[in-house]
Structure 1
Amino acid sequence: MITIYGPGCTILDDPDGACEGCWIDLIEPRSEDISRAARMAAVDEKLLRHALDMHERPRIEVDDDATLVVIRTPHIEQNGDQRRYSTVPMGILFTRANVVTVCQIEDESLTHILSISRSAPDGFKQERCLCNIVKHVTMLYMHHLKEISAKIQEVERDLAESPSNDDLKFLLNLRKAVTYFHAALKNNDLIIDRIARKGLAVCNSYKLMFSEDDLDIFDDALIDIRQGIYMSKIFSEVLDSTANVYSSVISNNVNQIMKILTSLTVILMVPTLITSMYGMNIPLPLQEAEHAFGVVGVVSIIITSGVILFLRFRRLL
């Protein structure tokens, strides 16, 4: 889908030719959308397609016609009742006269971020556009990390009460989410720090000039990003230790059950052995006695009780 915004965030239905000063937004674009956007912005289609690669890492690519900045943004996948956290690349393409944003996946949070950025004062200005997107993407990371922190505490309570496969699977999903966030935040940090320190060349013809307010936004974003990196690292260690502890608990429970079952098997083996012997069709002691059944029963009880006492003494029961 392609949407073209003019100054004042007005949607242009069918602009003719080059759309100078426009913001071209590509979300889940088709091939014809990419071709149209490349023609309107006068850029090579390859630059737009680079940002559509789901495995693209944050980077900066400066071309004669445009400059591409790729960052990774949070993405929520709704799978039934469960939410899965991941990241997707988003490309911000700066030309001499346009801004083009492109993302392979439609995400409600990302759409909201771009809408806020466009609506902000000087939102169509390239410097402020980049600052606003970076700021709100970072805030979204922090929001999701706080959600993950709450979910970790919740799943720990559930596992403490009764460990289940669903809880362990949910723990695995959280571990994957934290890993994705940690990798994305580290790469975003490198790109944003480089832009804040050295600026950003556009089309090899000029460099974006960031004001003090813009640099303050970058500084705040970098502080949040580095806090997010620290949080994701801590969460990763917590999730690893939690998973290891509950794996050990489950293994210990299985061992306890097997020990009890083995002890019961040994206890039942004694009367089974004695009664089996007296079921044989051969001459046996006491077989002519009047109280043979009672004697055999008492002997079985005594021997079985001795086995039980022995197992309890050795803490096997």
Structure 2
Amino acid sequence: MLAIYRTDDCVIHEMEEFQEGAWVSLVNPTMEESQEVAEAFDIDITDIRAALDEEESSRIDLEDGYTLILVDIPTTEIRHESKTYTTIPLGIILTPENLITVCTEETPILQHFIQRRVREFSTKKKMRFVYQILFRTAALYQSNLRIIDKKRTEIEERVGDNTEDVDLIELHELESTLVYFATSLRANGVVLERLSRYKRLEQYPEDKELLGDVIVENQQAIEMTAIYRDIIKGTRELMSSVIDNRLNNVMKYLTCITLVMAIPTIISGIYGMNVNSKGMPLANAPNGFAIICGIILIICIVALIVMKKKKMM
């Protein structure tokens, strides 16, 4: 999808044609749309479509007549029939008069600008616009990280009798998401560091202050990711220990039951041997069977008491 926006008097509106100071938004563009933008702004089409490759890493390239900035942004996907988080590339191309964004899907980062939720936003102030996009990216990372930690807390509250194997799987998914976030945030940090050094990109003092804020927010997101990864790792180890301990308790009870049930089996096996009944106690007694059953019951009860005192049950 190809859309053109421009701000006049701090009010954004959609346009039909390319104009100076406009923002060109490409969302999962077709080859024809990519070719149209490439010819209109004299840009290599491979740079326009670079953000459509999910394997592209964050980077900044200074080309003749334009600058390509690639960063990773957070998004959601369905994995194992549940909503999880991942990252996708966002391409930002700076030309002398325009700014172009390319992404494979609609993202709330850019929707905030279209829906007029960002103050002091102007498509004509390109570098400030870029830094505002990067600031919203870091803020969205932090927001998603808080949601991930909330999910982790909900799982942790179920630790105990309600712990299930699916909770371990969910924790593994959260931990995998944090790995993706950590990798993307570090790569974005490298891009931000390079942006602060390049002299070719004209920057005003206010823009530099905003870039400093973006770097701080990105670093904070990196630290949050590291902290939450450690917490999730500890929670996962705790849940594994709880499940293992529960299994050990079950095996212990089964062992005790087996030992108790072995008592009547042994006694009945002895009395079932083909020997002379004169050598068997109570073999000829009128109530011999009842007496033997009573003795077996007493021995089983004594065995249970002993195992209880030894904390074997």
Q: TM-score, structure 2 length as denominator?
A: 0.88
Please tell me whether residue 88 in structure 1 is matched to residue 88 in structure 2.
yes
Q: Distance between the aligned counterparts of 1:161 and 1:110, measured in 2? A: 41
Q: Distance between the aligned counterparts of 1:40 and 1:20, measured in 2? A: 12
Q: Distance between the aligned counterparts of 1:256 and 1:159, measured in 2? A: 16
Q: CA deviation at 1:113?
A: 3.6
Q: Cα 1:219–1:160, aligned 2, differ >3 Å: closer, same or farther? A: farther
Contact 1:175 1:236 in 2 (8 A): yes
Q: CA deviation at 1:21?
A: 3.4
Q: Which amino acid aligns with 1:142?
A: Q
Q: CA deviation at 1:77?
A: 2.6
Of 279, 295, 298, which aligns to 1:299? 295
Q: Distance between the aligned counterparts of 2:13 and 2:304, measured in 1? A: 85
Alpha-carbon displacement from aligned partner over 1:248-300 (angstroms, at most 9, x marks no partner): 11001101111101110110111122224434565431322222112312332
Gaps of 5+ in 1: 201-206
Q: Distance between the aligned counterparts of 1:160 and 1:289, measured in 2? A: 53
Gaps of 5+ in 2: none
Where 2:158 maps in the other structure, the secondary structure is helix
Q: Which amino acid aligns with 1:273?
A: I
Please tell me whether residue 36 in structure 1 is matched to residue 75 in structure 2.
no
> Could you tell me which residue of structure 2 aligns to residue 203 of structure 1?
none
Please tell me whether residue 312 in structure 1 is matched to residue 308 in structure 2.
yes
Q: Distance between the aligned counterparts of 2:119 and 2:4, measured in 1? A: 14
> Could you tell me which residue of structure 2 aligns to residue 176 of structure 1?
176
> Could you tell me which residue of structure 2 aligns to residue 248 of structure 1?
241
Map 1:103-142; keep pairs closer than 5 Å.
103-107=103-107, 109-115=108-114, 116=116, 120-142=120-142
Q: TM-score, structure 1 length as denominator?
A: 0.87
Of 264, 273, 282, which aligns to 1:271? 264
Where 1:315 maps in the other structure, the secondary structure is coil
- RMSD in angstroms over aligned alpha carbons? 2.4
Q: Which amino acid aligns with 2:155?
A: V
Alpha-carbon displacement from aligned partner over 1:218-257 (angstroms, at most 9, x marks no partner): 1111111111111110100000011011101100110111
Count of aligned pairs between the two proteins: 306
Contact 2:21 2:123 in 1 (8 A): no
Identity %: 27
Alpha-carbon displacement from aligned partner over 1:80-134 (angstroms, at most 9, x marks no partner): 9943111111000112232110011233x13324425998443332212212111
Please tell me whether residue 210 in structure 1 is matched to residue 219 in structure 2.
no
Contact 1:52 1:102 in 2 (8 A): yes
> Could you tell me which residue of structure 1 aligns to residue 148 of structure 2?
148
Where 1:84 maps in the other structure, the secondary structure is strand
Contact 1:128 1:214 in 2 (8 A): yes
